[in-house]
Structures are given as C-alpha cells and as structure tokens.
Structure 1
Amino acid sequence: MKNTKLFPFERNKYFYGKLLSVDDFELEQDYMNNKRRMLNRYLNGCGVVAGLYVVGLDEQTISVEAGIALDATGRELVMDVPVVKKLSMLDGFGVCRSRRDRPYIYLCLEYGETETDRVHNVTKNARPERDGEDVDYNKIREGCRLYLTDREPELENMSPSALYEDVKTVYWKDGVRICQIMPRYVRSGNHTELRVTVENLGRKTISFSYDLILTCLLHENQTKLRVSFDEMLVERTGSYELIYRLDTTESANVEGTLAIDPDTVRLSVSGQKTEERFEGRQTVRIGREEEKAEMVRSYYRAAMENIAESGSRQPIYLARIFFVEAGDTYIIERIDNVPFRQYVKNGYLETALDQMMMRELKAGERAGSTGGRRQGGGGGKEEAPGIAVSKGTAVIPLAAAAQRGERFFSDEIIHGLGLGRVAIVLGTQRDEENLVTYGSSEVFEKEGVEAEVAARLDVDKGSFVIGARLLSPTQEGRLVVHWTAVRDMRDAVQEKSDKRIYITPGILELHVRESHYLEAVCENMLEKAVRWSVKDQAGTVDARGCYTAPNVPGVYEVVAQSVAFPEVRASIFVVVRDYDA
C-alpha cells in the first residue's frame, strides 16, 4: 500500500468460472484500503491521534512513546511500543548537521511497510526482480519510520486554522522566520487584524521594516502600512507578534490585497545592514455575509480539491529538537512536542469539550442571575465581560501655604486588578462639594486646589502612586483625588502567557531511591514561590525541590507550579535506573 492515490475506486466483479490472479487480489485490498483512507483524511484530518510524545532521556538520546497518527493520505501510522534512539542513529542526522543554519532539527514520522515471512515460491523465476530466487515474502507489515529533517513545513496546510487564516512566510533565513497572518474572510465595513510573527532562533539580534500596499483595505485611513520591528527595543524571547488594525472599504464581494513594496525593505542583523528580499502578497475576501458563513461555503466548495492537492507532501512533525554542537559531538538542549499543532480530535474528545462548554455557559447564566454587575465603593471592583474595573479615593496631604509648582504624592495604592498593565483615570474634587474635575483644572473657573495630577503604575507590584503639581498657591490642607483603574482581561491573559518557569537541570538521571535538588527559575514574575509535585506518585518531592526517586526504574514527571499564577507551570522527566543497569 505504498501508493498515495485514492481515486478512482474500482473493485472486482465476481462471476462463476472467473480466474483470479494476483492483480485481482491486490485490487480487492486497494479498494478497501482506499475507502478507509478517504474517510480518515476527509472526516478526521491528519496529525497525532494519541501518544507519540517525545522525551529526552539524556544529552543525546530521545524516547518516543507509543501512539497513533494519520498521515496526509489517511494512512494509519501506529507505533505499538516506545522507541528509544540516539539522534545520531536516526536517518537524516548527518545531512542536517552538514548544513547548520539554525539551532534545531525536526523529528518527523512517515508511513512505512516491510515484507516479512519468507516462503518457498513454486513459480521460480516468475518475478525477475528476485534474480532467480525461489523464495518470496508472504506478508506485508505496516508500520512507520522516524527520521530527522531540516526542511520547514508548508504552514498553509498544517492545521484547521488554514481554513480561515492565510499564513505567508515573507522571509526565512539563518533561523529567522517572518510570517504575515491575515484572515481569509472579513465582512464589508468591519475591521480586521494583520498579525506579523517574528521568530529568531539564531544568536544575533534583528531589526527590519517594510511597507505594505493595501487595496480595498485601510490602515489609519491610509492605503499604505509600515511594518517595523527592532529586537533591541524589547525583551528578547525569540518569538514576537506585531498586530495592526485594518479597516475595510464599503465595497462587497471584492478581493482585498496586501503586497510588500520591495523597494522599502530594510533588514539589519546585529546592527549590520543586509541586502535581502521580502516577498509576499495576500488576499482577503470582503463579502456581505459573516466570516463563518463565508468560510463554510468556501470549504464545502473546494475542500476535496484542496485536500487532494496536499497529497502526501506533508509528514507528521512530532518534535522540534534544539541541540548544541560541541566539537564532534552534540547535546540536546530542549524538545518542543508537535510544534505545528498537528492533532486529530476524535468524537470522544469533542463530546467532552462540548460538555465543558455547556457547563461554563450554565455557570455564566447562574452568575448573571445573581444581580449582574457588582458595584464597588472605595477600592471596590466593577466587572464586565472581558473588563475589570476598580475604583477608590485618595487624599493627598498638602503643606501649609503650598506654592505653585510644588509636588505632593499619595501613599502607594493597591488597585486590586492583579499584576500587569492597567489604565488609570484621575479626577479632583473640592472639599464638601460634589463636583469632580477630570483633565486640566484650568479649564473651569478657579475653585479649590488647582493642580495637575498623574499616576505612576508599577506593573510588577499591582500598585500605583498619585502625584500632584500645584498650578497656583493654596491654603487648602489636602487634595481629594478619585481614581478609576480599568483593565482589559485579554491583556491579563497575554501577560500571564509571557510568564514562564523552567526547571534546572533540564534532564535528570538517577538511580532508584536516589535524591537530587531541583531549581525552578521564574521569569517575568515578582512572586517566585512554586509548588512541587510528582505525577502518579512516582517518587516524592519536598517544598524545597528535593526529589527522591521511587524503587521502580522508569521515566517520571516532576512538576513545578507557580503559586501566584497556577496556570504557569513547567515539568521535567526524570530517568530512574536500577543500580545494575
């Protein structure tokens, strides 16, 4: 079953006296196999179905768990037992090392089959390729093959997001990839977003800029958009995202386009200008219907054609393996499993997700029936979907006979919206009056304390200080300031995703009952307390990170979880061996 062609379907027609040959029996197998593969591909998709998790056992060895996947032609890739391999023993390793322009390689999985069970063949010399041997193979064993490659995937065909997003790689070289992600459909008169993702896995910093020429789209009422990025101006993480808002014209049933102006491209690597070309042109369908309706219509109109075109070109990318070369040898640095999210969701999982969604909806309905928004007084919170609001009043004491230009400050105020960025609105109030002035106090008639007010936010502490600068002398002894803090909770989610934990050492090998201290390193978090745990009670770990291996050899997972941000966690796998191993 090495063929990847599914159509047309043809099966045997039986009749009494029909003489059956090898071709007839192979046709029978192909018919049933191709029907099953068609359903696998068109109904389920391609990717990992279960298992196939990749773990680093030591500095040069990986282990791939047993599992199953579907390839791009619907064939089942089954690994019934775990596989342990040194990277250097896998196909493709030598080729990848010979042209090193990035610090990682991909571990891929593809369909494979082998002939087994040698038997005597009475029709000697019937098959010329056997060179006159009187033996043949009685069975074909289906399986799969692991190999390494440095070939980048075709991102457009990787996941279901390709149905509603157009991913265009505009630059890729020396570990630097710049992609533009644009919705395929947008409703006329609505706005949409262009996302530019930057991935720099090399050792050098980059900066770039270029212009996009827009058709039937506008950015700040202009038909030109300048995209620019400088890695020196941000915290270096290796992965970045730029977002630009685009508005559509009132035209409908037209194609909006974004095209790179090649004359405007500027790229610098570690401060040195390079002459490189950025290429890219994307289109978006601007219609009268909702985006979902347009996507569904387009899918049913062209799904078979699109899937057939992808054919067998796309393997299953199980892992991206980062490694460091040290002379003639190498050291595995880290492993990212299924980097392009090639997963297949089965009906059982979909049912569980639907049930969770219904539970969340019911919980939301119950919360809404208790009275809607919660109003707060001094320092209280007011909540709305996606928005959190906190209010309060601060009294800033002033010096006696304070003069123009003097500055006064409040105590530190905890706004109660968590760590990260918030917007703070300030208003001043005259004593014993219900008039609150927002903005410049010079606009209205002189009354009370005339002062400019501002707030300085500490994003790492969740607090702020209000400062006031007098615009005229005053005998008043204090200044009353009302403050309102507003936070978009979508930003809070993003900020939490920027926080991370990693454990050192990254790979640990112990003997049974042996102990070792682990260290959890917290990034972008003021509160660095972590909670240690071991999955499946495989050994013990105390509050200081001292892990003690169990009595049974195996591979076990130790988890460090942030106390302040429970959703931020990290884990390592500990290889436990017996003393005589």
Structure 2
Amino acid sequence: MKKSRLYPFERNRYFYGKLLTVRDFESEQKYFNDKRRLLNRLLYGSGVLSGMQVVAVDDKTISVEMGVAIDYIGREIVIPSPVTLKLSMIEGFMNNEYKKNVYLCVAYDEKGKEPVHSVGNSSIRNDEVSEYNRVLESYRLFIVEEAPAPASFEFVQLLENVATIYEDANVRITQRMPKYVNAGEVVEVKLVVEKTLQTPRIALQFDYEAQGFAPLGSDKNKVTFAEPGNAQETEYTVSYHVKAPQAAGGMAELAVPNRAAKLTIGDAVIPLDTNAKHVVEVLEEPVTDRILKDWHERSLEQAVDGSSDQSICLAKIGLLQMGPTYMIEKVDRVPFGEYIESTALLQRLGQSGRSAALNRFYATARTYDLEFDAKPTLDVQYHPDRNEFGFDLGIPRPQHLYDEIATGTMEVALESIGKTGGFFFSRGKKNYVSDEIRHGLGEGQVTVVVGLEEIDHSLSLEKDAAKKKVYYGQSDVFKGTEHEPDIPNVSLGTLVYPEKGTFRIGMKLQGETETTASVIAVRWWAFKSLGAAKAGASAMEDDRLESALAEAAASEQDK
C-alpha cells in the first residue's frame, strides 16, 4: 500500500526449479504487509492503541512512554521503550517566541540495520559495497507548530460540519456544528479562534442567517468574540445555540455572510472574502443510525483513503515564554482524540448499559440571591455534549426593614394518619426542627418572632388584604369563633445562633387536629437593635484594646 492506494494482491507461486530473485522475496513481504495494513485500516482506523503517554520531566524535557499505535494507512507504530528528550533536541522545534503551543507527533519510520558486504555487487564493481541486512520498523518523533485542520480527521468528517470563516498564516477561524440533527433538537454551534501568540488582539462580530434554525438566547442571531486584553492564549472557543426545525426530512442552513461580519486584528479591519455556510440535514431517525449508514455505504476507495504523511498527535505542549527562553507549562495528551478502543471493551460498555445512558438527559441546578422585592428568575441552558440541562434559579432575599428587621417564610409538609383525622409531620413525628435559617442581619443577638400563616383561597381577588392571615401565639384561642383557623394547633419555638447569624424553628403538634391543609406555612420576623449592635461592636473594640495594652506591658517587663 502506497499513499493508501489499494493494489490487487499477488502472492508468490512456488514450483520446483523456480529461480528466486530479490523481486520474489520482496513480493512475499509486500503481500503480507499490505493485506495486514488494509485490515488494520478498515477494522481499527487510526490512533493510539495503548501507552505512549507524554509527561513533562522538567521545564524543558518530556518523556514518551512505550506504546503501540496505528497510522493513517494501517501501519503499526511501536515505541519499544520509554524515551526522554529535551524539546530543543526534537525535530521541528524552533522555539519561536510567537508560538504558545506546539504539538508532539509520532510517525512510522523504517531504518536499515546490520550493514554487510554485498558479494554480488562486488563482482561488477571494484569498490567496497555494503547493503543493510535488516530493515528496522521504527518510529519518528517530531514537533509541528500548527494544529491540523479539523476536517483532516476521519471522525470529524463523519460527525461534524466545519466551515472556515477566515484563515491566513497566523490566524484560523472556523465554525463547527453537527452534520446531522433531529427535528426540534437544540444544537450547539462552536466558533473556534486559533492564532499565534504574536498576533495582536482579535475581535469578531457577525449576524448569522438561518434557514430552518431558530436562534436561542437573548442575543438572537448576533455572535460576538473579543479577545481579553491580558490573555496569553492561542485558542478560544465561543458557543451559541440554535433550535432545529420541527419538521424532519429537509435541510437547514446557517450562514455567516461576509457583509454582516466584522473582523479586527489589532487596529486593522480585515475584509472577509468568503461566506461560511453550514448545510445540515434534519432527520427523523436517530443521528447515530444515519452516521452508521454513511459508514457502511462508503466505497472501498473512501474506506482506505488516507495519507501516508499524516501523523498521530500525541500531545499539545503549552509553553511559557521566559524572555529569550521558555518552560513547559502543561501537557495535554492526545488533544484531538486519536484513540482506538478495544472491541471487547466497547462490547462490555454496551452490555453495561452505558450506550443507553447516552440517550438520557441529566440536570444540574444552582441558586443565587436576588433583592427582596425582585421576581424569582429561572435560566435554563442545554449542554448537548453531555445531554445536560443547567437550571439557574434566582430567589429573592428575605426583606430587610430599616436595616434591623428581616422576614421570611418556611413551609413544612403534613401527612394524614388515616381515619382519625390527625396529622403528623412528613417524617412521621410530632416534633419538627428546621435546618439553620440565615436571617441576613449578620452576627449578634436577634429576637425571632414566629407565627402560622394561613391563606384563604375562597375569597375573591378584590379582597387581597384579607386573603392572608398570620396567627401568633396559641391559635386555639380562636376556636369556636368566626376567626377559627384551618391549620393545626402547633406550638412554636426558636433557637438562635448569634455567632453564625442563623436560627432554627422548632414545632410540635398539640394533639390531633382536623385540617384540610397539606403544609404548614410559618412566617418569621427577626429583629436586631442597631444600638445593641453598635454597643456590642464598641465592647469588642474595648476588649481588643485592653488585650493589646496587656501584651505591651508584659513585653516591657520581659525586657
């Protein structure tokens, strides 16, 4: 196999009296090598099979562990023993100051071994002639300063749609999105900006045009990237989301027209010559089924198509420039995911249900405080790379009055205990103690008043003022009157932690009470005297002053 071209296989036919020449023996080796490499290419693909870990030994030295890989035309690459090298000793390393990252690659290589005297050649030539007696299948480590183009990887060609917005010797801006989407799916679009460290700051702004896709987010169809002023990075990724059409069976388009884009490098405005465009097919069937169909329908030429000079990237090495020299900042292993997984492992993962788990959705939640009079907010973000929804919930803080009063509510669920009509707390106990509640008035002594809150939903909307009632003290004193509450008879108590700025509410049901309520709502008020707070602070300052004077006096006596 030469440059991954497929040639018909021919093997030697032996017969008595056949004259064997160099051509016959080379043909014998080529037959087995080409057939094995063809199967390697079709069955396994290309990438690291095992080992080849790259680690930083010191500021300027790396170590590559032993391992096995298959290159892009099916040849085996074997590193038989660990190798430790200084970056400056590796082929291709120039230590250019404008390079933040360099890429360590490995490629298949052959070397002659065991030179011997050639008897046959010496009969026709007067000078000494030597030939190598063995061919050592080896490897070559080298460094490249430019990251490979995303579309050069076979798996990217199957899974992603890559469009180039701008590219020159120092800058490459691409946009990536899935090649296929399902109807109604939320799709992540990634804008990737790659540059050299010497290149001035980059800013890009454009309005994309969508046919079928619906913009998501507050920015609608506007995308903005501005490199931070103090950044020392050479690669940035900006993500935004669009929603696929609800109807399957057609094509959806997302384009970045050059007339609607503005690219600035330093102070120069760079015109864009091309219009980047994605054409994505909207499917009804699962995307994985369509990708497998594309894989199975490849022609033989497409299947074995590769490049004999394409190498495998083992590591992205981040460099930190230190004046005229450098130091290794970090090492990222196999940055472009060039791995080959064992079929046995993939089978076990499939049996364990991991493949099914990829079709599930997951959720994470985060809360944050809002002003007491603000409306609660909910922001939802979808992360398609891990099938995860992120919920950010904004909750108003308890109300502060005159900087010394705070209020809030707490709800406790009730459960029926059968025909008796009584109610227990949700954990089956008559006593309940809340978690610590932060009142927001800071440290120090506070007074907490609690009461039971009742909302009458039978009243009309015009009587909002009478809809909510709060009962303080013993609510059973209203029993038998028109003000009798529809809430259980509960005794309340509080436990305050002055040094923490928190408190707990304790509740106890008094006997069995009939009620239609499913929860108990407790309204609390926290009071803090500003005068007391100032006095406490002044006392603390006095204590600190006395302590400092005592230490100074002790120090003078020691002298």
Do these two structures clear the TM 0.5 threshold for a shared fold by scoring above it? yes
Residue type of the alignment partner of 2:75: R
Deviations 1:486-508 (A, max 9, x none): xxxxxxxxxxxxxxxxxxxxxxx
Using the TM superposition, give the Cα deviation of residue 163 of structure 1 relative to its aligned residue in structure 2, in angstroms. 2.0
Structure 1 residues 171, 431: CA separation in 2 closer, same or farther (over 3 Å shift)? Answer: same
Aligned partner of 2:308 in structure 1 is 312
Aligned partner of 1:147 in structure 2 is 142
- Cα separation, 2, equivalents of 1:414 and 1:159: 55
Using the TM superposition, give the Cα deviation of residue 127 of structure 1 relative to its aligned residue in structure 2, in angstroms. 9.7
Structure 1 residues 436, 77: CA separation in 2 closer, same or farther (over 3 Å shift)? Answer: farther
Aligned partner of 1:261 in structure 2 is 257
Using the TM superposition, give the Cα deviation of residue 436 of structure 1 relative to its aligned residue in structure 2, in angstroms. 12
Give the secondary-structure state (helix, strand or coil) at the position aligned to 2:341.
coil
Pairing partner for 1:106 from 87, 103, 106: 103
8 Å CA contact 2:183–2:244 kept in 1: the answer is no
Q: Residues 164-563 of structure 1: matches in 2 within 5 Å?
A: 164-172=159-167, 177-188=172-183, 190=185, 192-198=187-193, 202=197, 205-219=201-215, 225-232=221-228, 239-248=236-245, 250=247, 252=249, 254-269=250-265, 272-277=267-272, 280-302=276-298, 304-354=300-350, 356-357=352-353, 410=408, 431-433=453-455, 435=457, 445-448=464-467
Using the TM superposition, give the Cα deviation of residue 273 of structure 1 relative to its aligned residue in structure 2, in angstroms. 4.8
Deviations 1:375-401 (A, max 9, x none): xxxxxxxxxx9679999x9996897xx
Residue type of the alignment partner of 1:245: V
Using the TM superposition, give the Cα deviation of residue 279 of structure 1 relative to its aligned residue in structure 2, in angstroms. 5.2
Using the TM superposition, give the Cα deviation of residue 445 of structure 1 relative to its aligned residue in structure 2, in angstroms. 4.6
Give the secondary-structure state (helix, strand or coil) at the position aligned to 1:123.
helix
Q: Residues 560-575 of structure 1: matches in 2 within 5 Å?
A: none
Aligned partner of 2:61 in structure 1 is 61
8 Å CA contact 1:174–1:202 kept in 2: the answer is no
8 Å CA contact 1:107–1:147 kept in 2: the answer is yes
Residue type of the alignment partner of 1:324: L
Deviations 1:129-149 (A, max 9, x none): xx9543211110001000111
Greater alpha carbon shift after TM alignment, 136-145 vs 198-207 = 198-207
Deviations 1:514-572 (A, max 9, x none): xxxxxxxxxxxxxxxxxxxxxxxxxxxxxxxxxxxxxxxxxxxxxxxxxxxxxxxxxxx
Residue type of the alignment partner of 1:280: A
- Cα separation, 2, equivalents of 1:283 and 1:360: 29
- Cα separation, 2, equivalents of 1:324 and 1:292: 41
How many residues are treated as equivalent by the alignment? 407
Greater alpha carbon shift after TM alignment, 326-335 vs 168-177 = 168-177
Structure 1 residues 142, 328: CA separation in 2 closer, same or farther (over 3 Å shift)? Answer: same
- Cα separation, 1, equivalents of 2:230 and 2:435: 27
- Cα separation, 2, equivalents of 1:159 and 1:176: 23
8 Å CA contact 1:56–1:335 kept in 2: the answer is yes
Paired-residue identity, %: 31
Aligned partner of 2:515 in structure 1 is none
Residue type of the alignment partner of 1:182: M
Structure 1 unmatched ranges of 5 or more: 365-384, 417-428, 451-477, 482-581
Give the secondary-structure state (helix, strand or coil) at the position aligned to 2:297.
helix
Structure 1 residues 263, 127: CA separation in 2 closer, same or farther (over 3 Å shift)? Answer: farther
Residue type of the alignment partner of 1:24: D
8 Å CA contact 1:90–1:146 kept in 2: the answer is yes
Greater alpha carbon shift after TM alignment, 212-221 vs 109-118 = 212-221
User: Is it true that 1:70 corresponds to 2:40 in the alignment?
Assistant: no
- Cα separation, 2, equivalents of 1:348 and 1:211: 47
- Cα separation, 2, equivalents of 1:228 and 1:343: 34
8 Å CA contact 1:76–1:111 kept in 2: the answer is yes
Residue type of the alignment partner of 1:322: G
8 Å CA contact 1:101–1:174 kept in 2: the answer is no
Using the TM superposition, give the Cα deviation of residue 332 of structure 1 relative to its aligned residue in structure 2, in angstroms. 2.0
Structure 1 residues 151, 195: CA separation in 2 closer, same or farther (over 3 Å shift)? Answer: closer
Deviations 1:6-40 (A, max 9, x none): 43322223333332221121111111111111111
8 Å CA contact 1:176–1:202 kept in 2: the answer is no
Aligned partner of 1:556 in structure 2 is none
TM-score normalised by structure 1 residue count: 0.58
Deviations 1:317-366 (A, max 9, x none): 111112234454332222221111111111343245345546998xx9xx
Larger Rg: 2
8 Å CA contact 1:46–1:71 kept in 2: the answer is yes
Give the secondary-structure state (helix, strand or coil) at the position aligned to 2:119.
coil
8 Å CA contact 1:217–1:247 kept in 2: the answer is yes
8 Å CA contact 2:2–2:308 kept in 1: the answer is no
TM-score normalised by structure 2 residue count: 0.60
- Cα separation, 2, equivalents of 1:387 and 1:3: 45
8 Å CA contact 1:154–1:314 kept in 2: the answer is no
Aligned partner of 2:31 in structure 1 is 31
Structure 2 unmatched ranges of 5 or more: 361-386, 411-433, 438-450, 470-520, 525-559
The CA RMSD over aligned residues, in Å, is: 4.8
Residue type of the alignment partner of 1:334: K
